[in-house]
Structure formats: structure tokens, C-alpha cells
Amino acid sequence: MTDNNDSHIIEKFLEENNMTYLFLLLANLEAERISNLPFSIKRKLQGKVTTNALEHIAANDIPDYVVEVDDEETENNNFNDEML
């Protein structure tokens, strides 16, 4: 089978079975990703992991928490260097 044919089969399945299956699959993957984040990042999140995951998928906005924390640390280090 070709990739185009595979895509058509997947698309037909999702159309026939609603997008709920895909939504829940993506939310499950997002919940797993959030669960595997370091504790220092997870403690900043508000609410339950599953709720955060569902909200991220529904909004189509998957934040990259690791990059955000890394940026904050870089800014803090630059500020501390300037103070010296």
C-alpha cells in the first residue's frame, strides 16, 4: 500500500468514527508527556495532568515547558552576571 492510500484509509476511519478517537489518543499522549516532565516543571502546572492535557489538545497549543524553563534560567544567569 502507498502512503496516500494509507492516509485515505485513516481519514475514512476518522470520519466514520468521529474525531473523538483521535482527540483522546492525542490527549493520552500529551498526558504521558506531561507526566514525564521533571518535577520542577510539573509543580508549576495548575490542575490535574489529564485536565491540562485535554486543554492543550482542545486549544491545539502544546507548550514546550522545558524551553520556557531554560529561557528563564538563562535570563536569571544574565541578570546575575550583570550585577557582578
Position 1 scores a pLDDT of 46
Average pLDDT value for residue range 33-60: 88
How far apart CA 4 and CA 13 sit, in angstroms, is 14
Q: Which residue has the cell 502546572?
A: 45
Domain borders along the chain are 3-83
Average pLDDT value for residue range 15-30: 84
Position 9 scores a pLDDT of 84
- 31: pLDDT strictly greater than 90: yes
Position 27 scores a pLDDT of 92
Torsion region of 63: left, alpha or beta (phi above 0 gives left; psi -120 to 50 gives alpha): beta
30 CB neighbour count, 10 Å cutoff: 19
- 26: pLDDT strictly greater than 50: yes
Average pLDDT value for residue range 46-65: 87
